[in-house]
Chains A and B, each alone.
Chain A
């Protein structure tokens, strides 16, 4: 009996280890930005491109930064959740429109006339929001994805919860599901808003 006990225990331990490993999400990379100040940027606003927006303007408020693009399929998935959030008017939601034109694999940047990108970005982003509803307090345009790099964006959509002091308190990669929203984001907002 004892002869088989130890190999069995070893086997069960191995299976348990592999089971845990297989159930982890490899996309769930912990962000080093959590607990750090939100990187500073100054980008044109979608609704008024001659004006810029900087995260400094949000100091004193708990707010969300959501990275999106019209070519991003998963963004459409989370969009109803964002629209719901906007209806409740819990916190301001800032949209970071990420590489609207450059990120779209269907567009050949070399064939685009110079200077046409910005107009195209605005048209496409505004068109998408008109069609699917606009949950954003405001959206800013990150044409070349540089600000995205500062925020460690690697898969749109991504969402950041930023506190009153401008510190990133949470990052969610991938579409926000109703579960994530009510289970993680809303409680965190409530706690930070105290």
Chain B
């Protein structure tokens, strides 16, 4: 039981420790370095609505170009990042944000995986415990005990053990 849990937890740790991969992003020509830096930072947080699994920073879609131009204008107008985010969300909805806000409709999105994980973990622990108990509760009969000992004595059947 304990060994199983250990293997499981190690596997889990491995999947969390993995490196995060970043796709190459289309960096627009720099007129003003700071503006461009902010543009890339903001647009990496936004989804391109044409090719929905690409960020606005990485997309070559026509609309993404337009929106980057729009964001650049807003930056040059002195708007804050939060204001620019609001500009996008008020037009395209929370869906444009890769990190949706925490609210009623997104609760499942935020906590669903965690809840699913806990339920799975509970089910696993419950199952393993029940199995352990089942093994304990059925001791070998005298006859089976003798048979098992005979097998352990027999050199031919000890191959796997050293």
Interface residues of A, Cβ cutoff 8 Å to B: 26, 29-33, 99, 103, 105, 144-146, 149-152, 154-155
In the complex, chain A residues whose CB is within 8 Å of the CB of B89: 32
How far is it, in angstroms, between the C-alpha of A37 and the C-alpha of B62 when the chains are bound? 27
Please name the residue on chain A nearest to B52 by beta carbon. Answer: A26
B49 in contact with A149 (CB, 8 Å): no
How far is it, in angstroms, between the C-alpha of A30 and the C-alpha of B50 when the chains are bound? 15
Minimum CB–CB distance for A148 against chain B, Å? 8
A150 in contact with B93 (CB, 8 Å): no
A145 in contact with B66 (CB, 8 Å): yes
User: When the two chains form the complex, which single residue of A31, A105, A154 contacts B63, counting CB atoms closer than 8 Å?
Assistant: A154
User: When the two chains form the complex, which single residue of B52, B67, B94, B95 contacts A149, counting CB atoms closer than 8 Å?
Assistant: B67
Please name the residue on chain B nearest to A104 by beta carbon. Answer: B62
Judge if B157 is at the interface, Cβ distance under 8 Å: no
A-B CB pair tally, cutoff 8 Å? 38
Please name the residue on chain A nearest to B90 by beta carbon. Answer: A32
A152 in contact with B91 (CB, 8 Å): yes
Assuming the contacts A29-B93, A32-B91, A32-B92, asked whether A149 and B50 have C-beta atoms less than 8 A apart, the reply is: no
In the complex, chain A residues whose CB is within 8 Å of the CB of B62: 99, 103, 105
Please name the residue on chain A nearest to B73 by beta carbon. Answer: A146
In the complex, chain A residues whose CB is within 8 Å of the CB of B70: 146, 149
Assuming the contacts A29-B49, A145-B66, A149-B70, asked whether A154 and B92 have C-beta atoms less than 8 A apart, the reply is: yes
Please name 30 pairs of A and B residues whose Cβ atoms are closer than 8 Å in the assembled complex, sorted by A. A29-B93, A29-B95, A30-B93, A30-B95, A31-B92, A31-B93, A32-B89, A32-B90, A32-B91, A32-B92, A32-B93, A32-B94, A33-B91, A99-B62, A103-B62, A105-B62, A144-B66, A145-B63, A145-B66, A146-B70, A149-B66, A149-B67, A149-B70, A150-B91, A151-B91, A152-B91, A152-B92, A152-B93, A154-B63, A155-B49
How far is it, in angstroms, between the C-alpha of A150 and the C-alpha of B34 when the chains are bound? 26
Please name the residue on chain A nearest to B69 by beta carbon. Answer: A144
Minimum CB–CB distance for A157 against chain B, Å? 14
In the complex, chain B residues whose CB is within 8 Å of the CB of A26: 52
Interface SS of A by simple majority: loop
In the complex, chain A residues whose CB is within 8 Å of the CB of B67: 149
Minimum CB–CB distance for A81 against chain B, Å? 24
Minimum CB–CB distance for B83 against chain A, Å? 15
A155 in contact with B91 (CB, 8 Å): no
Please name the residue on chain B nearest to A10 by beta carbon. Answer: B123
Minimum CB–CB distance for B90 against chain A, Å? 6
How far is it, in angstroms, between the C-alpha of A30 and the C-alpha of B96 when the chains are bound? 11
How far is it, in angstroms, between the C-alpha of A144 and the C-alpha of B70 when the chains are bound? 11
How far is it, in angstroms, between the C-alpha of A30 and the C-alpha of B49 when the chains are bound? 12
In the complex, chain B residues whose CB is within 8 Å of the CB of A144: 66
In the complex, chain B residues whose CB is within 8 Å of the CB of A32: 89-94
In the complex, chain A residues whose CB is within 8 Å of the CB of B49: 29, 154-155
Please name the residue on chain A nearest to B87 by beta carbon. Answer: A149
How far is it, in angstroms, between the C-alpha of A103 and the C-alpha of B63 when the chains are bound? 9
Q: Mark B57-89, 1 if CB is under 8 A from A, else 0.
A: 000001100110010000000000000000001
In the complex, chain A residues whose CB is within 8 Å of the CB of B52: 26
In the complex, chain B residues whose CB is within 8 Å of the CB of A150: 91
B50 in contact with A155 (CB, 8 Å): yes
